[in-house]
Amino acid sequence: MMAMEPLLKVENLKKYFPVRGLFRTIGYVKAVDGVSFEINRGETFGLVGESGCGKTTTGRTILRLIEPTSGRIIFDGKDVTKLSGEEMKAFRRRAQIMFQDPYSSLNPRQTVFEIIMEPVRFHGIPVDDPEEFVIDLLESVGLNEMHLYRYPHEFSGGQRQRIALARLLALKPEFIVLDEPTSALDVSVQANILNMLKDLQKKYGFTYLFISHDLGVVKYMSHRMGVMYLGKLVEVGPAEKIFENPLHPYTQMLLSAIPVPDPELAQELKRKRMKIEGEPPSPINPPKGCRFHPRCPRVMDRCKKEEPPLVEVEKDHYVACWLYAKS
Ligand code: SF4
């Protein structure tokens, strides 16, 4: 049987932002610098790293909310960077984003009904009974018809994220970028929203790119994951495998910094426990060789000169580190 094509393939994606001096461009912030990964249909791929590592820019560039500098973004077999106007409109319906801040993502002057119906009308999706349509959507995210004509300020943060989600569901998307969707919420509310996202994925077969700085949440949500550092992916693999056996020194540092409920894993991580030394260097002038070398406790001479490629170290588990290189 032929393996199913992934829904999304990102190939050598780059996004550089110019740094302007008085009269000319004096450099570039290499926010995303040659990132490649795939997401299978119905899968959640987690993207994790410290703030400023490029994970949010990666998500927005994939949706072309930000234009890529170079690279290919293949969605359902087509290169998103080369779509015509009509094809782009269809892509915008099929691929959605849920933002972190539920307070700024909803128009305060619109009622819930208007908020949900606006994109439906924009995309020309036929709806027989708009009220019934919106009530169904509200019920699928745990709200109800009482909320139909209320305004965003009348809701809590968690309820606003539910409204934002109902608006996405109205377009029947296949792919959703979840950009820190619960980091602005209380812990108890976070769990409800994350469980709802999982249930909706099961029900509708959604494919998610889940972006977060919170490793615990990424582990809970993701089938596979990628760890980003200074615009590069340094480790990619099944989430369980990476949590059980993190191979890249940066991933080991990130993991050793979070509380671990599993006593065996805690023991294992204790052995490897390291401090996260220093701040990430500037993405304008990233270090030569391995970008992590100024902070890496296992740095070798080679690391300062040559950049390690992302290679498969064990089945489906990729690492960019000279400790695992065969040559
Ligand atoms: Fe550390 Fe070298 Fe591996 Fe980079 S390549 S993570 S500096 S051991």
CATH number at residue 49: 3.40.50.300
Which tokens go with 66? 């930000």
Q: Which of 6, 71, 63, 67 is nearest to 34 (CA)?
A: 71
Cβ of 302 less than 6 Å from ligand 1: no
Count the domains in the chain: 1
Cβ of 274 less than 6 Å from ligand 1: no
Q: Is residue 305 part of a domain?
A: no
Q: Is residue 208 part of a domain?
A: yes
According to DSSP, the residues that pair with 95 across neighbouring strands are: 175
Q: Is residue 283 part of a domain?
A: no
The C-alpha atoms of residue 80 and residue 167 are separated, in whole angstroms, by: 23
- What residue type is assigned to position 131 of the chain? E
% helix / strand / coil in the chain, to the nearest 5?
A: 40, 25, 40
Q: Is residue 281 part of a domain?
A: no
Best mutation site among 234, 295, 321 for ligand 1 pocket (most ligand atoms within 8 Å of CB): 321
CB contact at 8 A, 10 and 62: yes
Report strand pairing: 317-319 vs 8-20.
unpaired
Q: What is the pLDDT along the chain (327 residues), one digit of tens a residue?
A: 556 799 999 999 999 999 988 889 888 999 999 999 999 999 999 999 998 899 999 999 999 999 999 999 999 999 999 998 899 999 999 999 998 877 788 999 999 999 999 999 999 999 999 999 999 999 999 999 999 999 999 999 999 999 999 999 999 999 999 999 888 888 888 899 999 999 999 999 999 999 999 998 999 999 999 999 999 999 999 999 999 999 999 999 999 876 555 555 455 445 444 455 566 777 788 899 999 999 999 999 999 999 999 999 999 999 999 999 876
The C-alpha atoms of residue 165 and residue 170 are separated, in whole angstroms, by: 9
The C-alpha atoms of residue 178 and residue 229 are separated, in whole angstroms, by: 19
The C-alpha atoms of residue 268 and residue 319 are separated, in whole angstroms, by: 19
Q: Is residue 324 part of a domain?
A: no
Q: Is residue 228 part of a domain?
A: yes
Cβ of 296 less than 6 Å from ligand 1: yes
CB contact at 8 A, 218 and 46: yes
The DSSP code for 110 is S
Q: Is residue 205 part of a domain?
A: yes
Helices (H), ranges, 180-228: 187-204, 215-221
Best mutation site among 276, 290, 307 for ligand 1 pocket (most ligand atoms within 8 Å of CB): 290
CB contact at 8 A, 178 and 209: yes
Give me the domain span that covers residue 162. Answer: 8-242
Whats the size of the chain, residue-wise?
327
The C-alpha atoms of residue 19 and residue 202 are separated, in whole angstroms, by: 43
What crossing angle do the helices spanning 263-272 and 249-256 adopt, rounded to 10°? 120
The C-alpha atoms of residue 200 and residue 241 are separated, in whole angstroms, by: 25
CB contact at 8 A, 100 and 179: yes
Q: Is residue 233 part of a domain?
A: yes
